[in-house]
Homo-oligomer: A and B are copies of this chain.
């Protein structure tokens, strides 16, 4: 029992170290020796837990995705309204990214463009995550909160695409500012997309301005 715990902890530690080194240097540029050394273990020890270097890479997202999933499921129960749910979902995603930049770099810079990874079980959890977004969108469309004449696929693509674009830029620029600073302005843009303007009787600002 205690042993199992210890093993799990060691495994997670190796995964964390691997994420860090992969994030810094890229997959091919990283050697197992580096990871092992950084984890205070021998090369062979890494292979106790991960059959290959690639397997180690592909194992990085699992725990993170599960955690993100759980957090999300918990919080979404507290939120009412599709737009609010989308807000919460994207917020949590960005928050998780900002708090786990190594994992994020591995995910967005290494794994997401890897054909082999996409055929992996590990990738399923990523697709599952997208389903949550889809559910929010369709919920919003049904409830009338979200503009029904927007193609939901392209809406999701825009939401996720822009969010990841911003995160990738942030990563590549060396994570200079707080990633969360980008959230509200980004979501503002999204809101323009999402929301029907039923409550907006016309184009308030412009009309008002014009009327002035």
Q: Of residues 173 to 201 in A, which have CB atoms within 8 Å of B's CB atoms?
A: 182, 185-186, 188-190, 192-193, 196-201
B157–A165 CB distance below 8 A: yes
Main secondary structure, interface of A, reads: helix
Asked if A66 is at the interface of the complex by the 8 Å CB criterion, the answer is no
A55-85 residues with Cβ-Cβ distance < 8 A to B are none
Size class of the A contact interface (CB-based, 8 Å): 35 or more
Interface contact B110-A113, CB-CB below 8 Å: yes
Contacting pair B205 A209 (CB below 8 A): no
Residue of B nearest to A105 (CB): B113
Given A201-B201, A202-B202, 17 new contacts (CB under 8 A): A26-B114, A110-B113, A115-B172, A118-B172, A149-B204, A150-B192, A154-B189, A157-B165, A158-B158, A158-B190, A161-B161, A164-B165, A197-B200, A197-B203, A200-B200, A203-B204, A204-B207
A residues sitting closer than 8 Å to B (CB atoms) are: 26-28, 108-110, 112-115, 118, 144, 147-151, 153-155, 157-158, 160-166, 168-169, 172, 182, 185-186, 188-190, 192-193, 196-211
